Amino acid sequence: MTKGSVDSVYVSYAWQAEDETRLVDKLEEACRKRGIELRRDRNEIDYGESIRAYMDELGAGRHVILVLSDAYFKSEYCMYELREIYKNKDFRKRVYPVVLKGTRFHKPIDRIGYLRHWEAETSMLKTELEKVDRTYTRNLNEALDAYADFRRLMDELQAILADMNTLTQEVHVGTDFEALLNRVLPAVAEQRKIFRLQRNREPDSGFRCRITDEIRLALSKTKPLSEALQAEAAKLGASASTDVAESLCAFELEQALDDLLRPATIASLSALDSHRQEYTDTWAAAKTVLCWLSLLAVSDEQIEELERREASGGDFSFEIVVNTPVGVEIVSSRFRQMMPNLRADRGKADVYGGQVIQAPLADASWNDDHALDQLLLAIWTCVFPEDSRARLLETDIKKLNSALKYREKHKTHHHYIPVSLDQQSRLCRRDFYEKLMAKIPATTVIYFKSSGSAPALRIADEVDFMTIISQFLAIPDHLGKRT
């Protein structure tokens, strides 16, 4: 049995009714013509596989066509599927009912017979169970509970289905299920679009929890830093029993970095021998905590705006409003839900992404083709620093694309080209990067500007924030213990 994809459409039906009408066969053919994957039990459950597992999968499906018949409402399997669909919420949005000829449940009096049916099934099973020792009858007890559930839900579910406008069996078959599939297709298309955005992403709240988990994991590898953080947090009023990772994420970001992480890092490193592995591990953990914490600086509204732009435009780039190179790195990392790669070179003011692709300084004599060649070489050097080239061949371009796609998919590197919209230059034009993307579509281009709309970082001052990070990264130098 294969698991359904995000845009799968399931069909729930009674075999007895299908033997008489062949409606699902016709529906399957209509779906095939429209490029819709229709999942039905006979195609999905191989010999020896679990029927229940497939029914659970159907019950959680985003799109389920219900072929309703008298046999359907009296089938144990069909009622199990209907109950599971209902339990998984948004029942009206997720179901597409087709009512077979002769099926009556729209009037209240028509539903009484189905209530009696499940009352009788429940009563018969209960009577037989009372004749045996109830020890070791867990599955039978569950079946009895299920029958009672079908009886309990029958009135509510049939009332909802009766309230949904449907067409006759003849109209559906005569129009090749046009109305039904016209309703399915936009929902499937929307889900595909959402899935494209989220296939490498977690929900925002889930990612925030992951930040805490990643910090917790880093601290678990270094007792000196963890204990130093506990001591610093206690000075600021945190309980000794409080999770250190949660404490860090609960404080205001600048305070967490400057008043907790920094002094704890200095204290723990000062007590260690810089020539021993424990020192190296502690410093690596401290930088990891710094990087994950920095993502909390990004405005939730900015992330939502970037998602909306990507969903609506499918453009190769996005714009952010930041003042510093580290702002570009942090917002881009946060958007991709990965740890940033922060780097501060000794003696330089800026903090930036360690894998950023810096466009070469454009000479006034360059034309677009020459500038493009130089930029392609800069990308190659960043991705393959030990494999120099004077110029790139078509095979090199393919290698570059493949490497960038792989690294983006697996989140092993954070390569991107930052483009300042505040500057006037050949290498700051959108049409120039359209030419680049024609050659290397796997490249990430980020346009940024220093003003014009809401800033991407929710901190008091972005330059001060960059200073906090740059001074933190220089701690080993300040201690005279370089790693």
Gap between the Cα atoms of 311 and 364, Å rounded: 37
- Distance from CA of residue 266 to its chain's centroid? 37
Residues in CB range of 411: below 8 A, 6 or more apart: 200, 336, 338
Strand pairing class (9-12; 352-353): unpaired
* The two three-digit tokens of residue 438, written as one number: 């024609």
Q: pLDDT at position 364, please?
A: 65
Residues of the chain with pLDDT under 50: 6, 194-195, 197-199, 483
The residues with which 420 forms a beta bridge, in sequence order, are 448
Residue 5: closest CA among 47, 49, 50, 36: 36
Gap between the Cα atoms of 468 and 434, Å rounded: 36
Dihedral angle sign, alpha carbons of residues 319, 322, 328, 329: negative
Tens-place pLDDT, residues 429-452: 888 888 888 889 888 999 998 887
The residues with which 482 forms a beta bridge, in sequence order, are none
Q: How far apart are the first and last CA of the chain?
A: 53
Domains of the chain: which residue ranges?
9-198, 204-297+472-479, 300-457
Helices 325-336 and 462-473, packing angle to 10 deg: 90
Is 55:80 a contact under the CB 8 Å cutoff? yes
Gap between the Cα atoms of 410 and 200, Å rounded: 9
Q: pLDDT at position 483, please?
A: 47
pTM of the model: 0.59
Gap between the Cα atoms of 183 and 477, Å rounded: 64
Residue 67: closest CA among 136, 29, 15, 134: 15
DSSP 431: H
Q: Which residue has the tokens 């346009």?
A: 447
CATH class label, 9-198? alpha beta
Tens-place pLDDT, residues 69-86: 999 999 999 999 999 999
